[in-house]
Amino acid sequence: MAEEKQKTEQTKQATENAKKTVAEGKEARSLQDAQRAAMAKGKPTPTQEENDIAVSGGYPDLEDDGSGPDVQLTLQPKQVEAGKPSGGYQTRQATPARAKE
């Protein structure tokens, strides 16, 4: 009898743990769905009508798609120079040995 009680307790515990795991998974999925929906908010740009106008030689009035400013246009180009030698170290220098007479 004691073994049966122990097995039923283990079964109940396992079921409770499984329910907790499923609930945590549902919560994580709902959070991911909310994040995905927030990121997908906006419209694809350009629209087909805007493409048609551009192909026909016109300049379409582009609507803001909600993506924010273009990173390539906001960054300033860097001017990079090579590192200047510090001169704080001495290189090996081979000097000829004196000839023995």
Q: What is the pLDDT of residues 5-20, one digit of tens each?
A: 888 888 999 999 999 9
Share of the chain above pLDDT 70, in %: 72
Residue 4 has a pLDDT of 82
Mean pLDDT of 39-57: 80
Structure tokens at 46: 């350009």
Mean pLDDT of 65-74: 67
Please give the mean pLDDT across all residues of the chain. 79
Instruction: Name the more confident of 48 and 69.
Output: 48
Q: What is this structure's pTM?
A: 0.38
Alpha helices in 1-101 (DSSP H): 2-40, 48-55, 71-74
Q: Report which DSSP code applies to 81.
A: -
How many angstroms from the chain centroid is the CA of residue 92?
Answer: 47
Whether the CB-CB separation of 99 and 74 falls below 8 Å is answered with no
Which value, in Å, is the radius of gyration of the alpha carbons in the chain? 35
Residue 24 has a pLDDT of 92
Which residues are CB-neighbours of 42 under 8 A, at least 6 positions away? 65, 66, 67
Mean pLDDT of 57-70: 76
Structure tokens at 37: 């929906």
Backbone angles phi, psi at 23, to 5 degrees: -65, -40
Residue 70 has a pLDDT of 67
Closest to 64 (Cα-Cα) out of 80, 49, 45? 45
Instruction: Name the more confident of 23 and 93.
Output: 23
